């Protein structure tokens, strides 16, 4: 039985002049000077795995090969051999840790996905119980149309104190008007589109804020109330259908019995 290793056999084929039949010669005559290329199966076998990433098996094979072909008159130093074994052990340990971390990461991702699905199912089931209930929802903006002759009615809740102001701001956060609130608690304020200087505000969306008279702190909020008529389940989350609008749970301030 032949004990010649594949690497030695490839080298012998490559450098043995009697093995010329295994080689392939190609010529290129398109240039000003002819060029030729000689290839052989030995070339391909020797260098095919040149870019392969070195693993534990490769490291062990190199170590065994070093021991087999060491000079008997000058064998490998014991300390160097032990150091190489330590490197091999460290390499194996590092790869095992990497594999364990990867497996743990996959398990954690699977658990998180499962919990998210379970939480979403519970949330969706709970949301259906709100149908027919009266819900108070924060409403921090209004749409004003100068063509409309009906003032906009704004529901306001203000805290007890020295008084609060309903401030109306445009898209650039400039104050359009400031309407003093008569008392703390809940009230309804009408705005006909008038600005501080008495002129009419242009059409558009306006932001509402309830603050102290000097505007230094928030002292309440604006809202609307109506009955939940439906539930929609979208990719962005569960939405309540109230007064013809789609409202997220984060806007809900209070849930009560039906107004009817």
**Domain of 189: which CATH number?**
2.60.40.4070
Could you give the CA distance from residue 246 to residue 259 in angstroms, rounded to a whole number? 19
Residue 8 lies inside a defined structural domain of this protein: yes
Could you give the CA distance from residue 91 to residue 93 in angstroms, rounded to a whole number? 5
pLDDT tens digits for 95-109?
A: 778 888 888 888 888
Residue 240 lies inside a defined structural domain of this protein: yes
Residue 61 lies inside a defined structural domain of this protein: no
pLDDT of residue 176: 93
Residue 55 lies inside a defined structural domain of this protein: no
Q: Is 204 left (phi over 0), alpha (psi -120 to 50) or beta?
A: left
Alpha helices in the chain (DSSP H): 6-15, 41-47, 56-68, 78-127
Task: Phi first, then psi: give them for residue 110, nearest 5 degrees.
Answer: -65, -40
- CA distances 203 to 31, 148, 162, 198, Å, are 76, 10, 33, 16
Strands 165-169 and 237-242: unpaired
Residue 181 lies inside a defined structural domain of this protein: yes
Could you give the CA distance from residue 124 to residue 240 in angstroms, rounded to a whole number? 11
Residue 119 lies inside a defined structural domain of this protein: no
Residue 6 lies inside a defined structural domain of this protein: yes
Residue 122 lies inside a defined structural domain of this protein: no
The range of the structural domain enclosing residue 149 comes to: 134-256
- Candidates 246, 37, 58; CA nearest to 135 is 246
Contact 191, 152 (CB under 8 A): yes
Domains contained in the chain, number: 2
Percent of the chain with pLDDT over 90: 13
Q: 4-18, 156-170, 174-188 — which is least confidently predicted? A: 4-18
Could you give the CA distance from residue 65 to residue 46 in angstroms, rounded to a whole number? 16
pLDDT tens digits for 111-151?
A: 776 665 555 555 666 677 788 888 888 888 888 998 888 89
Helix axes 56-68, 78-127, angle to 10 degrees: 170
**pTM strictly above 0.85:** no
Reduce the DSSP state of residue 231 to 3 states and report it: strand
């Amino acid at each position: 039985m032949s004990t010649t290793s594949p690497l030695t056999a490839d080298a012998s084929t490559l450098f043995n002049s009697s093995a010329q039949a295994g080689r392939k010669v190609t010529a290129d005559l398109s240039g000003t000077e002819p060029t030729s290329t000689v290839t052989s199966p030995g070339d391909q076998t020797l260098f095919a795995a040149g870019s392969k990433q070195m693993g534990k098996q490769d490291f062990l094979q190199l170590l065994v090969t070093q021991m087999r072909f060491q000079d008997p008159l000058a064998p490998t130093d014991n300390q160097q051999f032990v150091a190489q074994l330590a490197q091999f052990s460290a390499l194996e340990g590092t790869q095992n840790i990497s594999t364990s971390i990867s497996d743990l990461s996959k398990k954690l991702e699977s658990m998180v996905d499962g919990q998210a699905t379970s939480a979403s199912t519970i949330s969706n089931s709970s949301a259906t119980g709100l149908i027919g209930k009266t819900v108070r929802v924060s409403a921090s903006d209004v749409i004003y149309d100068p063509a409309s002759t009906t003032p906009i009615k704004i529901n306001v809740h203000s805290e007890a104190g020295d008084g609060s102001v309903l401030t109306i701001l445009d898209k650039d956060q400039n104050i359009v008007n400031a309407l003093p609130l008569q008392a703390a608690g809940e009230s309804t304020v009408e705005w006909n589109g008038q600005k501080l200087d008495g002129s009419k505000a242009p059409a558009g969306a306006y932001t509402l804020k309830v603050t102290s008279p000097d505007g230094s702190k928030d002292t309440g909020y604006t809202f609307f109330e109506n009955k939940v008529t439906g539930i929609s389940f979208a990719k962005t989350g569960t939405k309540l259908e109230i007064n013809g609008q789609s409202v997220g749970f984060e806007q809900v301030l209070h849930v009560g019995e039906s107004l009817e």
